[in-house]
Structure formats: structure tokens, C-alpha cells
Amino acid sequence: MLQRFLTYLKEGDRFAGLEISTRNGQAFYGLLEVKREKNILQIQNWAEEETLEGILQNVPKNIPLNVLIQTDQVISKMIHVSGKDHNSLLLEAFPNLEINSFYYEIIMDSNSSIISIAGKRYIDELLTTIIKDKYSLVQFHLGLSTLEVLLPYWESNKIITTNLELNIEDQKIAGFNPNRTLNTQKYLINNLELMSTQILAFSGILAYLQNHLPISNFIDINQHSVRKFRYGRSTALSMKGLLIFLLMILLCNFFIFNYYYDRIGALNDSLAMTANQQSSYEQLEFSVNRKKNKIELMNSSSWSKTSLYLDRFASNLPSSIKLDQLTFQPLQMPVREGKSIAYREGIITLSGSSSNSGAFSQWIEKLEQRKWIKSVETTDYGVQKGNTSIFILEIILDETGS
């Protein structure tokens, strides 16, 4: 699983092969795009055009592109010589060849060698046209050099491509001739159906996937292109992954920040409500304490004066009169919630009973004569039992009197 992921990271799962060839004197451009799924290649797209610019419009720029060149500018020759060094094989096939002016590619078996050559200027101009439009060129090959990767899967004794007909013996190329017909054939290679015009492009893709590099003087160019593509793809995907990771972190931080921001907001609201409640409580406590102090002060004053007036009333009280209650500065009305407490200042209410009406009347007259009393009013008087009467007096004090 890890190996598959690393391979995808380096190469991806889509690959393209571009055949550039000449067929009966006419330029031919064929683009094959395949996709790898669980190590099985599936054809995704096939396009044919008559110009390079036209075919390049079908090439995705983010997948590895393998270019197979088999035009009339490429010369392929088979010699029945093998085992020699490259230069010897080149001179054997092409005497007086200026090697430095040509690209070459060689495939060999035990008995023969197939050598393909093309002028460097022609190939460089062709590749420059592809590279300048930022297509992901990873390899290029000359002639039929990549077809040898198909031989282990080939069951027929012939391979027909866009412009060549190859004879196959013992899974080796025994010879080849130009294919001057425009007829196409179907082949089944490892359960993959291919047209004859797709064979060369597919062999280029397979060579890339198998890291198959025939003998050539441009191996370094191909290897550099492969490394550049794989590094660029890995870097781009890593950057995308890093950006996604950073965005995920920022998104998580955003949600976490929002969560705690809302929590802090709720706590602040709660604190503000608590502070308001505390303030209201303190104000209420202050008001209650103020009223309490006021009442205590008034009660203290009232009690001292009540004691004074009790002594005054008791000093001349007839024996036939009994006092039950003395209220100094009674309330104007019953205490109610939300209402202020009001007193009848300078008023004393006195209640009791009398067993002698005459003595009661004389006692009232004496009270009215006191300097500290302004008036005496009997607010209630009635016979209770026998000769005993109950009474309630309202006495208005004269604060100027002593």
C-alpha cells in the first residue's frame, strides 16, 4: 500500500505516449493516454492529428509524456553484428557517420543489432516545440527501439505498426520492412486490445513504466527529464498536501476559537449579570440597612420617650384605671411592600380600662391641663362588663411644653 502510494506520488496513474511518424509520405501524430488501476493499464484516450500543434492540444500537461519518433528523418538499420562497442556498431551500420551530430539508439540480441539515428538539430527542434508549451516530456526514443518491451507478451510472428512491419522469431525481431498500406489491425496484449497505430506509443509508455532505457547517447537527457518530472510532481503534491494540512489546522483553530469565544462571551454575560445582581443586592442591602438604622433609631428614641411618658401617666393614675398599651408615634397606615413607613409624629395612643367613670373623667381633665399635652381625644369608649369600661385615647403632644 505504501509502495503504491509512493509510486503514485512520483508518477501518478495516467501516462501518455506520442508517436510522431511518417506514413506514405504524410505526417502522422498519434496520442495514446492510459491509466493504471491496480497495476492494470486501461486505455483512456486515443487521438490522431496531422500536425504537432493539433495533437498537443490533446495532451494533458500534468502527466508524463513519452515521445516516439519514427519519421523519415529517423533511419533504422539492422546488422547481424552484436557485442561490439557502440561506436563500432554505428560505424558498421553507417560508415563515415559524424557521431557527434546525431542521436542514436541501439537494441541488441545475441545475433544482431538494430540501430536508429536522427540528426540532433531536427530532434532538438521537435522537442523544443513540445517543451516550450510546458508539457511534461519525460523520455524520447528513436525508431522501433521500445518495441522490444512488448516481445515477452507477443504471440504472433508479426508486429505491424503505423509505418513498419516486423518479423518476430523466438520473441526477437528478425527483420522489418516499411508498411505501405493504410490498413490497421487489432492486437490483444495481456488482455489489452490495441490497434496497430497504437503499438509504438504503447511501447513507449511501457518502457517508461519498466524503466527500460535502450543503449543511446541521450540516456542522460531522458534520466534528467524523468527526475525533473518526478521531483516536480512530488513537490507540487507535497505543497498541496501541506496547504490542505495548514488549511485544516486553520479551520480547526477557527472552530476552536469560535467555540471558546462563544464560551467566553457567555461567561462575560454571566459575569455582567452577576455584577448587576451584586450591584442590585448591594443597593438593596444599603436601603434595608438604612431603613433598619432609621427604625432602630426611631425605636430607640420612641422607647426612651415612651418610658418617659409612661412614668408621667403612671404618676397621677387613679387606682380605678388600668393602662393596657401606650404607643408613641403610631403608624399612619399598616406597613406595605414598596411603600414608605410613615409615623404620626407628636401623637400618643393610650388604651386601657376604667371601673369608675367619674374618676376617668377627672383624670382626662387633669391630662388636658398638663403643659406637654396639647389635647386629649377619646377615640373609643364602651362598657365591657358591669361597671368596667374600655377606652382608647389619642393624645397630641405639645413639644414646647416641659
Q: Residue 275's pLDDT is what?
A: 77
* Element (DSSP H or E) covering residue 177: strand 172-178
CB within 8 Å of 200: residues ≥ 6 apart? 17, 19, 21, 30, 68, 70, 144, 146, 147, 161, 162
Q: Residue 5's pLDDT is what?
A: 54
CA dihedral 22, 25, 29, 34 (to 10 degrees): -50
Please check whether residues 20 and 82 belong to one and the same domain. yes
Whichever domain contains 343, its CATH number is: 3.30.1360.100
φ/ψ of 357, rounded to 5, equals: -70, -35
Q: For residue 302, give the C-alpha cell.
A: 420612641
Task: Please say whether the beta carbons of 313 and 326 come within 8 A.
Answer: yes
Please check whether residues 92 and 170 belong to one and the same domain. yes
How far is CA 93 from each of CA 73, 87, 96, 99, 353, rounded to the nearest angstrom? Answer: 16, 10, 10, 12, 157
In a domain, 311, yes or no: no
Between strands 215-216 and 102-108, the pairing is antiparallel
Task: Please say whether the beta carbons of 140 and 18 come within 8 A.
Answer: no
Predicted TM-score (pTM) above 0.95: no
In a domain, 307, yes or no: no
Task: Please say whether the beta carbons of 144 and 166 come within 8 A.
Answer: yes
Residues of the chain with pLDDT under 70: 1-11, 237, 288, 291, 293-306, 335, 337-338, 385-386, 401-402
Instruction: Tell which of 165, 199, 217 closes a domain.
Output: 217
289-292 long-range CB contacts below 8 Å, 24 or more apart?
Answer: 291/341
Q: Residue 359's pLDDT is what?
A: 83
CB within 8 Å of 356: residues ≥ 6 apart? 318, 320, 321, 387
Alpha-carbon distance of 216 to 331, in angstroms, equals 123
170: β partners? none
Instruction: Show the domain range for 242.
Output: 227-301
Instruction: Tell which of 194, 217, 240 closes a domain.
Output: 217
Q: Check residue 148 and report its DSSP letter.
A: G
Q: Residue 298's pLDDT is what?
A: 58
Please check whether residues 205 and 131 belong to one and the same domain. yes
* Element (DSSP H or E) covering residue 48: strand 40-49
Please check whether residues 54 and 163 belong to one and the same domain. yes
In a domain, 402, yes or no: no
Please check whether residues 151 and 187 belong to one and the same domain. yes
Q: Residue 223's pLDDT is what?
A: 94
Please check whether residues 212 and 338 belong to one and the same domain. no
Alpha-carbon distance of 248 to 286, in angstroms, equals 56
Please check whether residues 89 and 70 belong to one and the same domain. yes
Q: What is the mean pLDDT of the chain?
A: 85
Q: Residue 133's pLDDT is what?
A: 81
Alpha-carbon distance of 361 to 21, in angstroms, equals 149
In a domain, 195, yes or no: yes
DSSP notation for 270-291: HHHHHHHHHHHHHHHHHHHHHH
